[in-house]
Structure 1
Amino acid sequence: MDEAKLRTIAQLQEFLDATLEISFTGTPGNNDSQRYEHISRVLKRFEYPGRGKGERGVVLAYLRRTSGYSRAQLTRLVGRWEANRLAPVPLAKRYGAPSIPFARKYSAADVGLLAQMDRANEDVCGPAIVHLLQRAFVVYGDQRYERLSKLSASHLYNLRKSAGYRALRTSFTKTHAVCNPIGVRKAPRPNGRAGWVRIDSVHQGDLDGIKGVYHITCVDAVSQWQVQACVQGISEAFLLPVLEMVIAQFPFQIDGFHSDNGSEYINHKVAKMLEKLRIEQTKSRSRNSNDNALAESKNASVVRKHMGYSHIPQKYAKPINAFYQEVFNDWLNLHRPCLFAIEVVSDKGKIKKVYKKQDVKTPLECLVLLNKTDLVVFKSATTLEELVLKAKGKSDLQAAQEMQKAKAELFELFNKSGCKNQT
């Protein structure tokens, strides 16, 4: 680029305003030297040391645009030029390729001997292999190990990482299965009976390193009776009391408790609580993503739809939990319809799930049908009748409107405290 006609600061400023980006091109292998010459010419032509602060900034911006160097690197180069501007060559490269390359101490044959020793001893630790290499030369007199007998343990690992070594020997370690004795790794089999629940956690996001609340989704696998809860964190201090409350809110007896492999549920204290209630604890299997699919689908269709994705601080866990227990759970189970699938065998013998119009019902309506066939065990004789009367106490529309009003008041509480959320 011929820029010698730029002589004033105003011209430099016009150049900067008119151009967005310029790539400096030079002779391959000599690019830095040509950039240094360009920087020296510009600094000398505009008498950089005698300029004011503002004009210096324009010159530096021009050099950054035309040289492609970063601000920090250009500042260092300008400082070197000011210190040596009276010299014949104020700026010159201080680095270059070594005239004499480093000599290679260990040859490809040595790397092959090391790979052979590792293979025979099945990759024991570095100091042990170094000792074996020393014995091969000193004790057994094998001259091939003369150089390797002086190999250090630290440099041994460098040789193991080299391309030559990896071409001769590459070892793979299989992933070890987690052996946690808590819970049974299987998919629960309710066989059409209510009482086998699936549970999962939903985090309400972080903001500036501050954790949000956690929503607990617990849903029965057959009736889709769902209980929502909210906690500040998933540590034992917060989670155990809420789990006991969630299990107590189901109107029927709980026989199975299924979760993924998260430590918030797979721990000794939760296992002890479930054992006390005589509830079987199961956990999801590897490579079987559908084991806990029902709870995860409720996370999307219920929690995310009504609570959104934005951050909610942990201090709001208590009012959210009150909203769930007083309004939201009743609406979910008494007035919100769910789709229930039936299994159909195709002509090719494949079992697929089909959702039919007549199979849309609320969880309470499903419990009524299960009660007729003795597939549900209620905790008390009057529980079902009380639930039916409670559901008839208000229409589905009225219950949904009351839920929306309570939810709006809850989100208004967030907004008053500066917590922005969107449903």
Structure 2
Amino acid sequence: IELLAETDNLHERMSGPATKVILKRQHERFKDPRFELLKDISPAHIYNLRESPAYRAKSVTVGKTKSVQIPIEVRGKPNPDGKPGHLRVDTVHQGDSEKAKGIYSLNLVDEVTQWEVVACVEGINEAWMDEVLSAAMTLFPFRIRGFHSDNGSEFINRQVSKMLGDQFIRQSKPRSGRTNDNALVEGKNGSIIRKHMGHWHIARNYAPEVNRFYMGKFNIYLNYHRPCGFATVTVDGKGKRHRKYEVYQTPYEALKKLPGAAQYLKDGVTFEQLDKIAMAESDNECAKQMQKEKQELFRKVQPAGLNLFQKGGPATNSRRNHDE
């Protein structure tokens, strides 16, 4: 129970199926003998153990405190056809305080592999967005083919359109009245950014520090050491679509399993290079270092000293977060 609680604390208590994958990887891939008894545990038993007093005594959680029109040719939901490189993009605002704006997290998620890159900007005007967005896109190991965002002016502007056009990247925005066109990245906003960064205000002058945290250990953790749920979609006789989550794997594993995966990599990038990153440390080792860096960051951005971690279990319902 103590080892399960330790793992949950490091990974912000993911869903049962995702946690099961972490426990198995710790034993089989990273050869940690402590996970011998946990490697075959069922998701149902994980949920049961999380309700026990012994588990709750060891678990912790994050506590929360309370335009120019640019024509875009394509309005519609992208169809990646099983190929990586079609990004879903959104921003998350880190709250206001006495009319002072907080930072914005920039979230880019590949639709096929769920490869995710998070960055931070001081504001969402063109001057701040262009440089950070360009840097974030370089962190994807595969070529970018599509860029799908909402209708916000931070993305629908001349600078972003020119940057994407120069790289022959197809830009699109949601269909009118179709609120689920960008559901993937919106789900990640909650299960990744809000779960790790909370809802409290972070002042704009801390954007560089937050961005360094995101662009370093945090993005490595998300893509090489954090399993995500991949849905199998079936259609019944009435035409209703049903999503079932049976496959849990990291975005890097999802990328490697694509047919002819090497053809999608950027020039100069090889799986041999990426494997070295993936195997440099175990899932829990990476998560532990990420958590350490995050707590150091929080001590800077919250000088008054919020009580960020408290005993008593998670603030979110991990059973429902299938994108984990």
- Alignment TM-score, normalising by the size of structure 1: 0.55
Deviations 1:320-373 (A, max 9, x none): 0000111100000000000001111224343322111xx100000000001x34
Change (3 A) 1:244 1:216: same
Task: Tell me the residue number matched to 2:136.
Answer: 246
Output the CA distance in 2 between the equivalents of 1:345 and 1:373.
28
SS of aligned partner of 2:264: coil
Task: Tell me the residue number matched to 2:174.
Answer: 284
Amino acid at match of 1:378: L
Amino acid at match of 1:209: K
- Do the aligned residues in 2 keep the contact of 1:312 with 1:421 (CA within 8 Å)? no
Output the CA distance in 2 between the equivalents of 1:208 and 1:183.
40
Deviations 1:75-128 (A, max 9, x none): xxxxxxxxxxxxxxxxxxxxxxxxxxxxxxxxxxxxxxxxxxxxxxxxxxxxxx
> Matches of residues 364-379 of structure 1 in structure 2 within 5 Å?
364-370=252-258, 372-374=259-261, 377-379=264-266
| Structure 1 outlier segments of 4+, above 4 Å | 419-423
Task: Tell me the residue number matched to 1:145.
Answer: none
SS of aligned partner of 1:323: helix
Output the CA distance in 1 between the equivalents of 2:110 and 2:249.
15
Amino acid at match of 1:221: E
Q: Where does the alignment leave 5 or more consecutive residues of structure 1 unmatched?
A: 1-177
Task: Tell me the residue number matched to 2:274.
Answer: 387
How far the C-alpha of 1:275 sits from its partner, in A, is 0.3
Task: Tell me the residue number matched to 1:360.
Answer: 248
Higher helix share: 1
- Do the aligned residues in 2 keep the contact of 1:200 with 1:259 (CA within 8 Å)? yes
> Matches of residues 334-353 of structure 1 in structure 2 within 5 Å?
334-353=224-243
Task: Tell me the residue number matched to 1:321.
Answer: 211
**C-alpha RMSD of the superposition:** 1.8
How far the C-alpha of 1:375 sits from its partner, in A, is 8.3
How far the C-alpha of 1:245 sits from its partner, in A, is 0.5
> Matches of residues 127-276 of structure 1 in structure 2 within 5 Å?
181-276=71-166
Amino acid at match of 2:95: G
- Do the aligned residues in 2 keep the contact of 1:310 with 1:421 (CA within 8 Å)? no
1:398 paired with 2:285, answer yes
| Aligned match for 1:330, one of 215, 220, 225 | 220
SS of aligned partner of 1:296: helix
Q: How many residues align?
A: 242
Deviations 1:263-307 (A, max 9, x none): 110011111110001000000111111111111111000000000
How far the C-alpha of 1:246 sits from its partner, in A, is 1.1
Amino acid at match of 2:188: K
Change (3 A) 1:420 1:212: farther
Amino acid at match of 2:190: A
Output the CA distance in 1 between the equivalents of 2:205 and 2:284.
32
Output the CA distance in 1 between the equivalents of 2:261 and 2:141.
15
Output the CA distance in 1 between the equivalents of 2:191 and 2:297.
20
- Do the aligned residues in 1 keep the contact of 2:70 with 2:158 (CA within 8 Å)? no
Change (3 A) 1:256 1:409: same
Change (3 A) 1:184 1:223: same
Amino acid at match of 1:260: D
Output the CA distance in 2 between the equivalents of 1:293 and 1:303.
15
1:409 paired with 2:296, answer yes
SS of aligned partner of 1:291: coil
Change (3 A) 1:303 1:287: same
SS of aligned partner of 2:302: helix
Q: Which moved more, 1:341-350 or 1:186-195?
A: 341-350
Output the CA distance in 2 between the equivalents of 1:398 and 1:196.
30
Change (3 A) 1:384 1:310: same
- Do the aligned residues in 2 keep the contact of 1:240 with 1:270 (CA within 8 Å)? yes
Output the CA distance in 1 between the equivalents of 2:159 and 2:302.
37
Output the CA distance in 1 between the equivalents of 2:114 and 2:289.
22
Higher strand share: 2
- Do the aligned residues in 1 keep the contact of 2:299 with 2:305 (CA within 8 Å)? no
* Structure whose CA Rg is larger: 1
Output the CA distance in 2 between the equivalents of 1:386 and 1:300.
31
Change (3 A) 1:312 1:289: same
Q: Where does the alignment leave 5 or more consecutive residues of structure 2 unmatched?
A: 1-67, 310-324
Q: Which has the higher contact order (CA 8 A, sep 6+)?
A: 2
Task: Tell me the residue number matched to 1:34.
Answer: none
Output the CA distance in 2 between the equivalents of 1:185 and 1:349.
24
